[in-house]
Structure 1
Amino acid sequence: LERIAGLTQEEAKNMLIRKIEDEAKLQAIQTIRRIEEETKERSKALAREIISNAIQRSAAEHVVETTVSVVDLPSDDMKGRIIGREGRNIRALEMATGVDIIVDDTPEAVILSSFDPLRRELARMAIEKLVADGRIHPARIEDIVEQVKVELEEKIKQEGENTLVELGIQNMHPELVKYLGKLKYRTSYGQNVLQHSKEVALLAALMAKELGADVNVALRAGLLHDIGKAVDKDYEGTHTELSVELAKKYGESEAVVQAIASHHRDIDFPSVEAVLVQAADTLSAARPGARRELLETYIQRLEKLEQIATSFEGVAKAFALQAGREIRIIVDAQKVSDDRAALIARDIAQKIKEELDYPGQIKVVVIREMRAVEYAR
């Protein structure tokens, strides 16, 4: 046999071993590939099942936020009293709250228009109080608006506490609870931020439970991932940076802080819970009807308009009205003279022209009100 094959017994043996090894390797590679494909399919199916279960169990409703609110009145006669003699009451209300008050043919109702939900709520509560009280004049309007501001702070705090009870979260710093309540009056692409945060928390927690991850971390990080959006526009930084800063400042765990930091993939995912928060955030935002791009662009334009006005020294407050066609600026009478007020109006108009793209024209109104108060005792 050795002579016919031209091989020694040892060579034939080695050749056979190599052939068997090659066949075994090929079979092993094919088996590994098959297992990988099956595992991928099973993991995709499992992921789909976990996500669909979480979505079904969360069953959140979506109401896209608009920029108007309606206040019901007991009768149409009340409209005349809200307007006041020569429009003095409606002007005082608009000045105190920073909203457009529209009195039209809508029966037994007035419409409040502002891109800021917090201002609309302030105006709504103030008008309801004034109507119930019956005394409507500029001085009373100012008193009522100040009262409502205090009540609104309490309402915001209560909203945050209700959210924690609803989700079963304990031991959260009171300041974070207050910021949570403020999220009810913030929108992102037309989606209410508090509603979105609750949905993200619930989705992340349900998926964490399915996967055996830390449910508490997923729940807290999901709820707080957008908490930076409650911070006033004056603060520097992205909403993610502000969210991380607040979570650290008010005693949230490192796992929660890291999960918040990575929810927009600004850093690598440090944990399973972080991945789940990011997935839940995407799911909540991507639901059909959850968000509207055009509304967000419109709100950003009005915010920019107000920021330009408040960047000038001596400006106390600025309100964008008439869907951004008018900017009403209140200056500090102690710091700004009448002549200076006229210059500020011109400078703001010039800066708006340079920095903003807008259709038509924007009316810049600067108001300087001088008050002298003395008490007779």
Structure 2
Amino acid sequence: MTQVEGVITRVYREEWGRVVAGLARRFGDLDIAEEAAAEAFAIAVARWPVEGVPANPGAWMATTAKRKAIDRIRRENNRDHKQRQAQMSINNSSPDPVGAIVDDRLRLLFICSHPALAMESRVALTLRMVGGLTVTEIARAFLVQEATMRQRITRAKAKIKAANITYRVPSAEDLPARVSGVLAVIFLIFNEGYLATGHHTHPVRRNLTAEAIRLTRLIRVLLPDDHEATGLLALMLLTEARALARVTASGELVTLDQQDRGAWDTALIAEGHRLVSERLAAVVTPGRYQILAAVNAIHTSATDFRDTDWLQVVTLYDRLALLDPSPIIVLNRAIAVAELDGPEVALATIDRLEDTLAGYHAYHATRADLLRRMGRNQQSCAAYDTAIELAGNTAETAYPTRRRDQLPK
């Protein structure tokens, strides 16, 4: 990859969502926004290697995409009202209102997280438009096929058109109805940074985890009484605290039991623990993010993996399953059960998830580890093979490969 190609790739990752969301908000049409952004990036690919990279690539991309959108609208004679909107948008002397939210990206998240859309569609669409994640990455986050996710996003766009949903700057009164969708988007952005799903990418994308934490801190300022915003911030801080210990110098993921706890960030852990204690003491019925934060507080409180309070972890997962009985929650609970009651008990639970998690590499890697602990080496090897085949990047591949190769022949 040349230096210019590297810049274009970086700008695409960082600016695509912002550009598309800005155009959609200006012109009220997602299709035009995405097509104009795609044209702008195509022009960059053709011109920048010849003419050089502009001083401000992101601004160049936004300006070029806006011009392409205006050109497209002008060509459509049956859309005169949008042409007038486009002409008005050229006047840079009238900045967009910012409403209750000063931060540009956070404002776009709230604009796109419209409560008229179903939550899954809202989150998927916002991840695509503002989060900058690809359809493939979003599909992996939802554990569905790429074609299924593409259809879901297309249907969300169609509903926006059919219902004439407008993209407007939300007022302070709008925020509580939209915050759950925004938190869900931020959490998935963080997860993509915590463990990137793309092939041949670095397993940890610290720019995404840092941005997710930054945005959640801003939400706490806007909505200080929102318990789930506090819970999500605590969860991300306690997870990010382990970042340096999670990947070896050679790029292999390190499981929790093997991590050097001395490399964990004690300042982030202290802040996360404080937020968990503060919120759990004030809330009778904690939400999903608060419970997950409490689980991570237990992990980061233990000085050694063997000192972990697994009974409390399982109890928290039992409580979480009442709110979110998803297969991922069941899988994570089974991992804790394996430490509390043994791998045989956990495996019985995990095997019941085969139909729903057959395409999820972590399911097969977990199952392989349990089978290895039980001495069922041949079955363990087969499960490791499946995990390797489904892994998203080289770091995910390295761990099950090493474990498989260590099995007795």
TM-score (norm 1): 0.28
Between structure 1 and structure 2, the one with the greater Rg is: 1
Structure with more helix by fraction: 2
Structure with more strand by fraction: 1
